[in-house]
Amino acid sequence: PPTKERDGFESISRESIVWTTEVDEFQDITYEISVENKCARIAFNRPEVLHAFRPRTIREIQHALELASEDPRIWVIMLASNNDPSKFTPAFCSGGDQNVRSNGGGYQDGTERQPKLRVLDLQMQMRRCPKPIVAIVDGYAIGGGHILHMVADITLASDISVFGQTGPRMGSFDAGYGSTHMARLIGQKRAREVWFLCKFYDAKQAYEMGLINAYFPKEELEGRAAQWVRRIAMNSPTAIACCKAALNADEDGGAGIMQMGGEMTRMFYMSRESQEGRDAFLEKRAPKFRSNL
Ligand code: S0N
């Protein structure tokens, strides 16, 4: 565990981390945890389609995210992908799986009653998750996959990564976070360029635009990401949850204020003052509050 002398950025490799598979019935993703590093790793696992997501993929990520959110051993969540460059082009996620894009207004792979844009629900879940989510991008992050890394709290990438939107070329668009959050990250002019021209950008360009936090040589990515995660997990999880809620609230309007207010209420419930209100009700007496203001 980190000590006073260590700053959390000690050298670390993916191989040196003990990962435990918590749930192995997932088909499209893997879900592992490292208790020592207080971290969960949710990874796309469809390399044959560059980790394009179908409804099943999104449902599985949602389930894994819920498990990680509710597990007190987990303080930081990684969203990554499992790549084998000897077989497939490396990717983080190439967006919605075009093989199951239906004419009925969304994606349909037999796991949904109706075609849906379920990835929008995942974006909301990521924003509302009180734990920090770190996207680990190794390769293509395109379309809906590009939006998922933007919605994550931190993005770390390998130097071979490629970023971009293709919607206007592929007959789709994301008029939610995919547009508005992008503009907050990189500015209005740049966001219009990304969407209107559908150009691809390399890791250096993405870093210079403010799309990602850092990029590393490919072989160092997972180890360097583990350093960042360990460094985050040295800090107060409640303070981080409140900072995340505050940073989101500015953009998320009423829903964002509700999220931040919820954190305040949760903490107030732990106070003697709040508990006195409950106790007085249950004991059928007038409450005797003591103010801390
Ligand atoms: C990434 C690209 C440029 C890589 O090119 P490369 O290296 O030449 O590889 P390929 O041979 O093209 O790919 C390898 C195999 O992977 C398959 N594949 C790749 N991407 C997809 C995909 N998105 N869906 C299905 N299959 C995919 C290839 O077909 C190939 O298979 P084989 O070997 O069998 O031929 C290149 O792959 C590329 O351009 N891919 C498409 C990327 C893209 O346009 N993605 C955006 C898709 N749309 C969204 O993400 C929308 C998201 C969404 O759900 C949404 C959200 C909010 C609001 C609206 C929407 C909405 O859907 O409209």
Is residue 5 over pLDDT 50?
no
Q: What's at 18, amino acid-wise?
A: V
Ligand 1 close to Cβ of residue 153 (< 6 A): no
- For 16-43, the pLDDT digits (tens) are 788 899 887 999 999 999 999 999 999 9
Quick one: angle between helices 177-186 and 188-197, nearest 10?
Answer: 130
Percent of the chain with pLDDT over 70: 95
List, for residues 85-102, the tens digit of each pLDDT value: 999 999 999 999 999 898
- What residue owns the CA closest to ligand 1's atom 8? 89
Phi–psi pair at 31, nearest 5 degrees: -135, 115
Helical (H) or strand (E) element with 43: strand 39-44
Task: Taking residues 106-118, report their average pLDDT.
Answer: 86
Burial class (CB in 10 A: 0-12, 13-18, 19+), 10: exposed
Averaged pLDDT for residues 207-211: 98
| Ligand 1 within 6 A of CB of 53 | no
Domains defined for the chain, CATH in brackets: 14-234 (3.90.226.10), 238-282 (1.10.12.10)
Question: What amino acid occupies position 176?
Answer: G
Q: How far apart are the C-alpha atoms of 287 and 293, rounded to whole Å?
A: 17
Span 214-239, average pLDDT: 95
Q: Which atom of ligand 1 is nearest to the CA of 95?
A: 50
**174 within ligand 1 shell (Cβ under 6 A):** yes
Could you report the per-residue pLDDT of 116-167, keeping only the tens digit for each? 889 999 999 999 999 999 999 999 999 999 999 999 999 999 999 999 999 9
Q: Which atom of ligand 1 is nearest to the CA of 91?
A: 1
pLDDT for residue 184: 97
Select the more confidently predicted residue: 104 or 189.
189
pLDDT band at 11 (very low <50, low <70, confident <90, very high): low
Q: Please say whether the beta carbons of 200 and 141 come within 8 A.
A: no
Q: Which atom of ligand 1 is nearest to the CA of 98?
A: 24
What is the percentage of the chain residues whose pLDDT exceeds 90?
84
CA of 278 to the centre of ligand 1 (A): 54
Q: Where is pLDDT greater, at 104 or 242?
A: 242
How far is the C-alpha of 109 from the C-alpha of 236, rounded, in Å?
A: 41
Which residue puts its alpha carbon closest to atom 16 of ligand 1?
49
Could you give the CA distance from residue 167 to residue 162 in angstroms, rounded to a whole number?
Answer: 16
Tokens of 167: 């919607």
Give the residue, out of 45, 48, 50, 84, with the most ligand 1 atoms within 8 A of its beta carbon, to mutate for a pocket test: 50
Direct distance between the N- and C-terminal alpha carbons of the chain, in angstroms, rounded to an integer: 37
What confidence score (pLDDT) does residue 18 get? Answer: 86
Q: How far apart are CA 148 and CA 142, in angstroms?
A: 9
Phi then psi dihedrals of residue 145, to 5 deg: -70, -35
Spatial distance between the Cα atoms of 97 and 109, rounded to a whole number of angstroms: 10
The DSSP annotation for 145-196 comes to: HHHHHHHSSEEEEETT-EEE--HHHHT----SHHHHHHHHHH-HHHHHHHHH
| pLDDT > 90? residue 198 | yes
**272-131-21 Cα angle (round to 5):** 120
Mean per-residue pLDDT over the chain, rounded: 93
Q: Cα 160 vs. chain centroid, distance in angstroms?
A: 21
Given a contact cutoff of 8 angstroms between Cβ atoms, the answer to whether 241 and 247 are in contact is no
- Band of residue 13 on the pLDDT scale cut at 50, 70, 90: low
3-state secondary structure of 243: helix
Cβ of 60 below 6 Å from ligand 1: no
Can you give the pLDDT at residue 3? 47
Give the residue, by CA position, lying nearest to ligand 1 atom 27: 49
Q: Whose CA is nearest to atom 40 of ligand 1?
A: 94
Q: Structure tokens of 93?
A: 């996620």
pLDDT at 7 over 60: no
